Chain A
Amino acid sequence: MALDKYGIAKRIAQELQDGMYVNLGIGIPTLVSNYVPAGISIMLQSENGMLGMGPYPAEEDIDPDLINAGKETVTVLPGGCFFDSAESFGMIRAGKVNLTVLGAMEVSDNGDIANWKIPGKMVKGMGGAMDLVAAAQNIIVAMMHTNPKGESKLLPQCSLPLTGVRCVKKIVSDLAVLEVTPQGFKLLERAPGVSVEEIKAKTAGRLIVEGEIPEMRL
């Protein structure tokens, strides 16, 4: 069965390592922080100017001066700190943030990503996404394998305006875990009960299937 958004977040959380500084995008990526494995400690970076972002506050602790990059009220953990936007993107560009998890509308088999604009439809802006994808050491994309019409979002080439080129390293979708290699998407794991045939049918870009593909362990 295909994973739901919580399953995708749970699988991505397995990629976390102790001591990592991590930037989580809006949507499914934000859920990853709920599944940090026991014994592992990470620091969340919020690009509006905070390290050590904590959970949502209790009603009585809400502070309008303390928000995350999604403009949600949050808390700061002991050991956290604040800084300005220029410094925040400095630490991103300088490669100090170890892992970025973000959503995508399309990814191509050479690692290009499109997630900011639908021409004629959406003019919201890219926010920090272009900076993050251009500079992060490691980018994992959390996404649905197909759009609501059933068409593949893992393509030979993105059709939407790009956010960044050759930057995605790994994809965790509702169907599979894939690594982006010079030869295309390499299938690493299947969602429980999902067949390799189904993944092949729903992946429009080049797909590499080598040997037995294990199921994800969640």
Chain B
Amino acid sequence: MNKVVANADEALHDIPDGAVLMLGGFGLSGIPENSIAALVRKGVKQLTCISNNAGVDDFGLGLLLQTRQIKKMLSSYVGENAEFERQLLSGELEVDLIPQGTLATRIQMAGMGIPAFFTPAGYGTEIAEGKEVREFNGKQYLMELALHADFAIVKAWKGDTMGNLVFRKTTRNFSTSMAKAGHITIAEVEHLVQPGELDPDQVHVPGIYVHRIFQGKDYEKRIERKTVKM
């Protein structure tokens, strides 16, 4: 069993135009930087991207917006990107805004083999339009469907050659669930290690979910809002 590939270009070689991608990260934290750069190089178009945010103008998914490679975004919050807003208002870009917890759980359910679930989030609002409503114990819930992707692309702190992944601090965010929801899951890691080097008790994503893994490089880890103690 060898899941290791040389780099992002090799990992993403078979992503076609029109593919549905999941990309991990929250804001710019924990995003798959190497893979995003490789998608820009590859020039693959008409992408549907499922990601909590859309990056900023010149980093993260903002890079794929600049090159007009994204057809549709599924996100919970896209407020930090002027180019995104421009493309959306001009009709070049489609967007599905999804409550953050609903988005997380739709992805999680795909990884658990559960097709749908009920959540109270969004009941009585415009996002409830067209959705089945059910009452449980006197409270109203919306039915939401599991969300799958052709390719899930995540960045972990450490990973071994078997695909087991470990994350650091708040970078777990959407990445652990996305890793389980991809038809093909690609992981880039800051530290690629040999089997046995990760403590099995501390693995966040079991290797069974991960198909390709590579040692990333040159992580910029840009900070969106630097705040310090007064």
Q: Which residues of A contact B (CB under 8 A)?
A: 46-50, 55-59, 62-74, 76, 82-86, 88-90, 92-93, 112, 123-131, 134-135, 161-166
Interface pair A123/B76, CB less than 8 Å apart: no
Q: Output the least CB separation between A157 and chain B (Å).
A: 13
Contacting residues, chain A, for B97 (C-beta < 8 A): 123, 125-126
- Binary contact readout B64-96 vs A (1 if CB under 8 angstroms, 0 otherwise): 000000000001111110000100110000010
A–B pairs, 26, beta carbons within 8 Å = A48-B26, A49-B26, A49-B170, A57-B229, A64-B222, A65-B157, A65-B170, A67-B29, A67-B224, A71-B26, A72-B225, A82-B169, A83-B172, A84-B175, A85-B101, A86-B176, A88-B101, A88-B104, A89-B105, A126-B127, A130-B99, A131-B121, A134-B120, A135-B120, A162-B124, A164-B123
A-B complex: 5 closest residue pairs judged by Cβ atoms: A89-B101, A124-B79, A131-B101, A165-B124, A71-B27
Asked whether, in the complex, the Cβ of B227 is within 8 Å of the Cβ of A127, the reply is no
Q: What are the residues of chain B within 8 A of A74 when measuring CB–CB?
A: 227
Q: Does B1 contact A (CB under 8 A)?
A: no
Provide the residues of chain A in CB contact with B222, threshold 8 Å. 64
**Is A64 a contact of B121 with CB atoms below 8 Å?**
no
Known contacts A64-B221, A123-B89; is-contact A82 B227 (Cβ 8 Å): no
Contact B170 A86 (CB under 8 A): no
Q: Which residue of A lies closest to B222 (CB)?
A: A64
In the bound complex, do residue B121 and residue A84 qualify as a contact, i.e. CB atoms below 8 Å apart? Answer: no
- B62 at the A/B interface (Cβ < 8 Å)? no
Q: Known interface pairs A76-B169, A126-B77. Does A86 touch B104 (Cβ–Cβ under 8 Å)?
A: yes
Chain A residues near B7 (CB-CB < 8 A): none
Total residues of chain B contacting the partner, CB 8 A: 57
Residues of chain B within 8 A (CB-CB) of A125 are: 75-79, 97
Task: State the CA gap A85–B76 with chains docked (Å).
Answer: 12
Task: Knowing A86-B107, A125-B97, say if A67 contacts B77 (CB, 8 Å).
Answer: no
Report the bound CA distance from A89 to B103 in whole Å.
10
Inter-chain CA distance A62–B229, complex, in Å, is 10
Give Cα distance in the complex from A72 to B224, angstroms: 7
Cβ–Cβ < 8 Å partners of A76 in chain B: 169
Chain A residues in 8 Å Cβ range of B107: 86
Q: Tell me whether A135 and B104 are in contact (CB under 8 A).
A: no
- In the bound complex, CA of A62 to CA of B79 (Å): 23
Are the C-beta atoms of A67 and B120 separated by less than 8 Å? no
For A68, list chain B residues within 8 Å (CB).
170
Instruction: Determine if A73 and B227 form an interchain contact, defined as CB atoms under 8 angstroms apart.
Output: yes
Determine how close the nearest CB of chain B comes to the CB of A93; give it in whole angstroms: 7
Q: Which of B27, B88, B168, B221 contacts A123 (CB 8 A)?
A: B88
Q: Please, which residues of chain B bring their CB within 8 A of the CB of A67?
A: 26-27, 29, 170, 223-225
CB of B13 closer than 8 Å to a CB of A: no
Contacts of B100 in A (CB 8 A): 47, 85, 89, 126-128, 131
Pair A164/B227 contact, Cβ less than 8 Å: no
B52 close to chain A: CB less than 8 A: yes
- Which residue among B88, B101, B105, B175 has the maximum number of chain A CB atoms within 10 Å of its CB? B101
Is there an interface contact between B105 and A123, defined as CB atoms closer than 8 Å? Answer: no
Q: How far is the CA of A90 from the CA of B109 in the complex (A)?
A: 12
- The docked-state distance in angstroms from the alpha carbon of A134 to that of B99 is 11
A58 to B226 Cα, complex, angstroms: 11
Report Cα–Cα, A73/B223, bound state, in Å: 8
Q: How far is the CB of B116 from chain A (nearest CB, A)?
A: 15
Given known A-B contacts A65-B170, A84-B174, A124-B78, A135 and B228 have beta carbons under 8 A apart:
no
- A128-B101 in contact given A83-B172, A85-B177 (Cβ < 8 Å): yes
| B171 interface hit (Cβ, 8 Å) | yes
